[in-house]
A and B are shown apart, each in its own frame.
Chain A
Amino acid sequence: MTDEELDDIFASLSAILTDAGLAWLVAQVNEAIQIGRIVTRRFHRGRLQEDEALELTTKTTRNTTIGTDPYGSVDRVNILVNALRVALEHSAALEQEVGHFFANEHATAEASNVISASDQPISSDETQTIAGGNNPAAATASRVLPLLDELSSRIAQP
């Protein structure tokens, strides 16, 4: 896949997520991309000797400096896809776990509902229910995740 094709996929998927109401996720991804990949660079007599990702750097010397590398096209798509994957998987798992926990905390069926509500008068009065098992987040995740797997495997192809 060429960089141009990957950039097209990134733009199209960003637009899809924004239209679906996930603009906050796209914003997080763009912030991460804007910072770039953090790397360490070691110089000797003004010449670059070593350049490696921060997570792989175990030893630093006086000549080690921190810099960033811009993400490539394939990295950008992967960051976006992974962000959507985390949002779906983690939200579904948390909703199920929290709903299940509090359902067990109370004997009464009514108390199996966990409700989150704002404490700010200026915020919307909307309350949200944590559903537990078979929650909407899990249903969405089960529909979308296989498609993301397919997209990831296509991106990985040379």
Chain B
Amino acid sequence: MTPAEQQLLAQIRSALTPLPPSFTNSSRGSDLFEAYIFTLIIQAARSEGATVTYETVFGATPTQFYFRTSPGHIYSRRHPYTHAVIDFGPRPPLEAHLGILVSGKSQVLHECDVAVLDRTEAQECRQNRTEPRSRTLTLSAEAKFYTTTLELDLARSFIGLISDLTTSFPCFVANTTSVSAMRLLSARRERNWFDDVMVGQPSADLLRSFFARAFHYYKAR
């Protein structure tokens, strides 16, 4: 290594100091990415004519938005976790959540990074301390925030997940891509996937349209 390259690396070391504590947590990027997908769902719902309000797990209007850093129970009162209430008028209202557990066809609990489900089911689950059933999901998103190409096992896990979920609009969403993973997901039509999803990128518009289509179908059902 030349002295110039050594100096450049020293400058990089210096520029990384102090690194915001949030960076040193590997889950931070994932939390932000999930929250971003949540915002796309809200935008899609509004584009389909929904009225969106927010509510805490206690049923109050939030003064701050609390989201989960790791999947938890829809009824958890550990913090005043926030969800969105999506109302399409004549149709029963829906709720959008970040990081909740849902029960699949085989009665196994799965983690849903972002989920939209029937509000009645959500209310009953909060009251009875149970997990929502996957058949009450309108859509669900498996979010992957990566800094390199996606590992193939992420796509395999998604295939396993959707085989046990009863939802019409499941999707796999990643901020990067991988030829192998996308080829595996492309093999079947029901494996909806969106790669290279990032703020301002065309892929984000595609994902928003996918969510809007899910709401469009929900209104027509």
Taking A87-B23, A151-B12 as contacts, is the C-beta distance between A120 and B179 under 8 angstroms?
no
Interface of chain A residues 24 through 51 with chain B (CB within 8 A) = 24-25, 28-29, 31-32, 35, 38
| Residue-wise interface mask of A (93-121) relative to B, using a CB-CB cutoff of 8 A (1 in contact, 0 not) | 11111100110011010110111111111
A71-105 at interface with B (beta carbon < 8 Å): 79, 82-84, 86-87, 90-91, 93-98, 101-102, 105
Known: A5-B1, A16-B12. A128 touches B148 (CB 8 A): no
B52 shortest CB reach to chain A, Å: 8
Question: For residue A54, which residues in chain B have a CB less than 8 angstroms away from its CB?
Answer: 179-180, 183
Docked Cα-Cα span, A97 to B40, in Å, equals 11
Contact between chains at B70 and A120 (CB < 8 Å):
yes
A110 with B66: CB separation less than 8 A = no
Residue B176 is within 8 A (CB to CB) of chain A in the complex: yes
Q: Interface of chain A, helix or strand or loop or mixed?
A: helix
Instruction: Find A28's partner among B42, B65, B148, B175 (CB 8 Å cutoff).
Output: B148
A123 in the interface (beta carbon within 8 A) = yes
Contact partner, A84, options B36, B67, B78, B147, Cβ 8 Å: B147
Q: Which A120-148 residues have C-beta < 8 A from chain B?
A: 120-121, 123, 127-128, 130, 136-137, 140, 143-144, 147-148
CB <8 Å contact, A127 and B32: no
Task: Give chain A nearest CB distance to B15 CB in angstroms.
Answer: 4
**Cβ of A93: which chain B residues have Cβ within 8 Å of it?**
198-200
Decide if B187 is an interface residue (CB 8 Å cutoff).
no
Interchain CB contact (< 8 A) of A32 among B26, B36, B148, B200: B148
Tell me whether B63 is interfacial, beta carbon within 8 Å: yes
Does B39 reach chain A (CB closer than 8 Å)? yes
Residues of A within 8 A of B172 (CB): none
Shortest Cβ distance from A56 into B: residue: B179
Q: Does B49 contact A (CB under 8 A)?
A: no
Contact B199 A97 (CB under 8 A): yes
Quick one: which of A28, A120, A148 contacts B12, CB cutoff 8 A? A148
Whether A90 lies near B198 (C-beta < 8 A) is yes
Q: Does B28 contact A (CB under 8 A)?
A: yes
A8 within 8 A of B: yes
Q: Which residues of B contact A150 (CB under 8 A)?
A: 8
A3 at the A/B interface (Cβ < 8 Å)?
no
Cβ B69 vs Cβ A13 within 8 A: no
A114-B65, A116-B31, A116-B69 as given contacts; A12 in contact with B9, CB under 8 Å:
yes
**B residues 46-75 touching A (CB-CB < 8 Å):** 54, 62-73
Task: Name the 4 nearest CB pairs between A and B, nearest first.
Answer: A119-B72, A21-B24, A24-B26, A136-B20
List residues of B whose CB falls within 8 A of some A CB: 1-2, 4-6, 8-9, 11-13, 15-17, 19-26, 28-29, 31-33, 35-36, 39, 42, 54, 62-73, 76, 78-79, 81, 99, 145-149, 151, 175-176, 179-180, 183, 198-200
Which positions in A face B, CB cutoff 8 Å?
A: 5, 8-9, 12-13, 16-17, 19-22, 24-25, 28-29, 31-32, 35, 38, 54-55, 79, 82-84, 86-87, 90-91, 93-98, 101-102, 105-106, 108, 110-111, 113-121, 123, 127-128, 130, 136-137, 140, 143-144, 147-148, 150-151, 154
6 A-B contacts (beta carbon < 8 Å): A9-B1, A91-B23, A94-B33, A98-B35, A119-B81, A130-B32
